[in-house]
Amino acid sequence: MSKKLLLKTCEDKVFSWATDGSLYILNNDKFEKFSELDFDYDFFIRGEDIYVIKNRNIYLNGEKKDLGLDFPVRITVKNNEIFVLDQENANLKIYNPNFEENESYGERGIEELEKKDELYFMFPLDFDIKNDKIAIIDTGNRRIVVFNRALDIIKRYPVIGKKVRFYDKNIILVLFGETIYKIDINEDKIYEAKYGNIIDFSIHPKRKKLIFLKE
């Protein structure tokens, strides 16, 4: 039997993907079959364009993009920019719509060696963007890093997980096991809430409602 494994919010739509390759779209609080989708680690859908990570490469509508990436694991498109997290190279790359590189953040290393205007990652796993802010799960350094595009580090938190999402411009949510950590980047406190049997979560783009995928 097919099983839904993940949730992905793409602009104003929420998708779920199942083990048989079926892609579902959330419509009136119910997931309806949308299409089939083949990918390895992540995807993003924007209008008629479908971006996927497959065989350690990025594809747009089936066309392979030669970007020299070693191990891309996450992709997001916002404001005509394409964000790709390369786990092996330990950086977040930002491309224009023609896949020309505009910016790159981070390199492989340990947190203790960071200096001003430097970011070192070890096996970054996930990221999210909200306005000028970027949050990255830095698994190897066992932390969440929040910084802006001027490379000013806003906060570092001793929290890891498999997914990080901005709830709003000041609050990030991190999924670890069946726990969601809530972090207000204006404070130093970390709150947590446990949910039974959750596999993944997303945030409804219009209603700011948490959506859960459960066993």
Question: Is position 168 within any domain?
Answer: yes
**Cβ contact 33:27 at 8 Å:** no
Rounded mean pLDDT, 119-136:
97
122: DSSP letter: S
Q: Is the pLDDT of residue 1 over 70?
A: no
Give residue 116's pLDDT.
86
Question: Is position 27 within any domain?
Answer: yes
Give residue 189's pLDDT.
86
86-105 in b/e form (b: 16+ CB < 10 A) is bbebbbbbbbeeeeeeeeeb
- Containing structural domain, residue 178: 130-215
Question: Is position 196 within any domain?
Answer: yes
Question: Is position 182 within any domain?
Answer: yes
171: DSSP letter: E
CATH number of the domain encompassing residue 173? 2.40.10
Question: Is position 184 within any domain?
Answer: yes
Lookup: tokens for 8: 């992905």
Q: Cα–Cα distance between 37 and 156 in angstroms, integer?
A: 35
Give residue 117's pLDDT.
86
User: What digits encode the pLDDT tens for the residues 57-112?
Assistant: 999 999 999 999 999 999 999 999 999 999 999 999 999 999 999 999 999 999 99
User: Of all residues in the chain, what percent carry a pLDDT higher than 70?
Assistant: 100
Looking only at the bridges linking them, the beta strands covering 120-121 and 107-108 are parallel
Please report, for residues 13, 56, 160, 172, 204, the alpha-carbon distance to residue 100 in angstroms, rounded to integers and kept in the order given.
27, 18, 31, 29, 31
Q: Is the pLDDT of residue 154 over 70?
A: yes
Number of domains into which the chain is organized? 2
Question: Is position 29 within any domain?
Answer: yes
User: What digits encode the pLDDT tens for the residues 160-172?
Assistant: 999 999 999 999 9
Give residue 55's pLDDT.
95
Question: Is position 62 within any domain?
Answer: no
Average pLDDT of the chain to the nearest whole number: 95
Question: Is position 166 within any domain?
Answer: yes
Q: For residue 4, give every residue at least 6 positions away whose Cβ sits within 8 Å of its Cβ, in sequence order, or none.
A: 16, 17, 18, 19, 24, 31, 199, 213
